[in-house]
A and B are shown apart, each in its own frame.
Chain A
Amino acid sequence: MNALEIKDLSKSFRSNFLYKKTTILKNVNINVKKGTIYGFLGLNGAGKTTTIKCILGLIKPDHGTIRLFGEEAEKVSSRASIGFLSESPYYYDYLNAKETLALSGKLSSLSNKKINERSAKIISLVGLEGKENLLLKKYSKGMLQRIGLGQALINDPDFIILDEPFSGLDPIGRKELRDIILSLKAEGKTVFFSSHILQDMELIVDDIGILRNGKITKEGKLKDMVKKSIKNPVSYSLEDLFLKEITK
């Protein structure tokens, strides 16, 4: 059983003006193996966030199925095993980091004892020691990304979705985040993330899927894909592969 299985996922939206239909996703198929790091690539507007929203039940697919550890993603209970970090920091700015983690834990049905235990560990993991009592309205974008990651991990999820997690982070922050993602993998967690920063992605992903105009054009092990297309083994990289894929 895969951690995530998406079959024939299609989604279109109707614009308010003239009620015109725009298709965003066309029969998307994705398979994410348990305990791996999956890089989800695509240009802006390719449909990455729409796919993630479908997985989270924020929008309903027109067609297709999504299963998380065998359970249908449209069921609310499937989200108990998910941790989600959104692209932009959409959190309550009148709360501090501790309160944000507590709220996140309560929404995941954690006990107060468990919340306290996890919060202390997470504050340290995301590097926010000493800043936990500061209101989020006073946080920088990088700090918000850190608390965003923290709230995603509070319920100790088996499947972690990170939408553009490196945006807003400085080089040290990016390195720390890569280490956190790798440590999550070492704990047996599955990480599914989208990013434009291909250099970071290349360093940590096992598998990739490239989304172009709402369709998955390439999916598989990064190592195999880079090898297969190789002409010049020295200069070939994920960036070359991605650029080739989206311009062909």
Chain B
Amino acid sequence: MKIKAIALNTFKEAVRNKIFYLLIFFGIFFSFSSKLISILTIGDTLKILKDIGLASINFFSVIIAVFTGINLVYKEIEKKTVYFILSKPVERRDFILGKFLGLALTILVALTIMISFFSIFILLFSGTFDPYILLYFIFLFTELLIVISISILFSSFSTPILSSIFTIILYLIGHVIWTFNEFKYKFINPIEKIFAYSIYYLFPNLEKFNIKGAIVMNDPINIKIIFSTLAYGIFYVSAILLISIHIFKHREF
């Protein structure tokens, strides 16, 4: 009940902020503007619409996840509203979990709005509903859960500016880390090999969640890959939340 109260309060804070709606508006606007760009390019219009539209939704949902995540937790500490919560019989673990779930709900709502508009847009254009967009929605949401857990981790001990930088850097690393997996066989020196393996397994491989290419090209997606990717996301989120809880438990206010 306490986690639910903190989560709903976090959600309330996010949705009572006008910037939240502005970012959703831009997400929808840019995904619709893919129609305009498709006129200027040569190729399959539907593919271009999906490619640019989903990329826009991805970009704005990441912005919402990073900045809402960082601000909401840090603001609790900076504005000392954390005193209000922690002076009640509330475990610090519940505070972090409540914040995470509240942010997850915020992202879920934002993503649902953007994806719904985009799905209707594609339906009107092509006359068919693409079920893979739903899969894209689930994958992107899981990826964003990793992003918000990272933002909570950093904001539990750092300032918003540093947390934003760290989270964005980790997000970018997460999208290129797969290259370490490709190159690790080329390392002959055992130390270099261990280093490459460590880096690959330590950082989140966010590219696993990027199925935009498959959707645009209408490639089939293996059911095993779907479940293993989702399990990977859940494992990673759980690990980061455990670290955040550990740090937050030892923090003094």
Q: A78 to B91, alpha carbons, bound, how many Å?
A: 12
Q: Tell yes or no: A92 within 8 A of B by CB.
A: yes
Are the C-beta atoms of B84 and A86 separated by less than 8 Å?
yes
Q: Tell yes or no: B246 within 8 A of A by CB.
A: no
Q: A77 to B88, alpha carbons, bound, how many Å?
A: 9
Are the C-beta atoms of B252 and A59 separated by less than 8 Å?
yes
Q: A78 to B87, alpha carbons, bound, how many Å?
A: 10
- Known: A76-B89, A103-B9, A107-B89. Is A91-B252 also a contact (CB below 8 A)? no
- Known: A86-B83, A91-B81, A94-B16. Is A109-B1 also a contact (CB below 8 A)? yes
Q: Tell yes or no: B186 within 8 A of A by CB.
A: no
Q: Tell yes or no: A95 within 8 A of B by CB.
A: yes
Are the C-beta atoms of A76 and B13 separated by less than 8 Å?
no
- Known: A59-B252, A90-B79, A90-B80. Is A107-B12 also a contact (CB below 8 A)? no
Are the C-beta atoms of A94 and B12 separated by less than 8 Å?
yes
Q: A154 to B93, alpha carbons, bound, how many Å?
A: 23
Q: A49 to B79, alpha carbons, bound, how many Å?
A: 17
Q: Which B residues between 1 and 23 are near A, CB-CB below 8 angstroms?
A: 1-2, 4-6, 9, 12-13, 16-17
- Which stretch (A50-58, A118-126, A192-200, A215-223) binds chain B? A50-58
Instruction: Determine how close the nearest CB of chain B comes to the CB of A24; give it in whole angstroms.
Output: 12
A residues near B79, Cβ cutoff 8 Å: 90
Show 30 A/B contacts (Cβ-Cβ < 8 Å), sorted by A.
A56-B83, A56-B86, A56-B87, A57-B86, A58-B253, A59-B252, A60-B252, A79-B88, A79-B89, A79-B90, A80-B89, A82-B87, A84-B83, A86-B80, A86-B83, A86-B87, A90-B82, A91-B84, A92-B81, A92-B84, A95-B12, A103-B9, A104-B84, A106-B1, A106-B2, A106-B5, A107-B88, A109-B1, A109-B2, A109-B89
Known A-B contacts: A77-B89, A86-B83, A86-B87. Give 13 more (CB < 8 A): A58-B252, A76-B91, A79-B88, A79-B90, A88-B80, A90-B82, A90-B83, A91-B84, A92-B9, A95-B12, A106-B2, A108-B89, A109-B2
Q: A81 to B91, alpha carbons, bound, how many Å?
A: 15
Are the C-beta atoms of A108 and B83 separated by less than 8 Å?
no
Q: A79 to B85, alpha carbons, bound, how many Å?
A: 11
A residues near B80, Cβ cutoff 8 Å: 86, 88, 90
Are the C-beta atoms of A104 and B16 separated by less than 8 Å?
no
A residues near B83, Cβ cutoff 8 Å: 56, 58, 84, 86, 90
B residues near A237, Cβ cutoff 8 Å: none
Are the C-beta atoms of B87 and A79 separated by less than 8 Å?
yes
Q: A77 to B89, alpha carbons, bound, how many Å?
A: 6
Are the C-beta atoms of A108 and B87 separated by less than 8 Å?
no
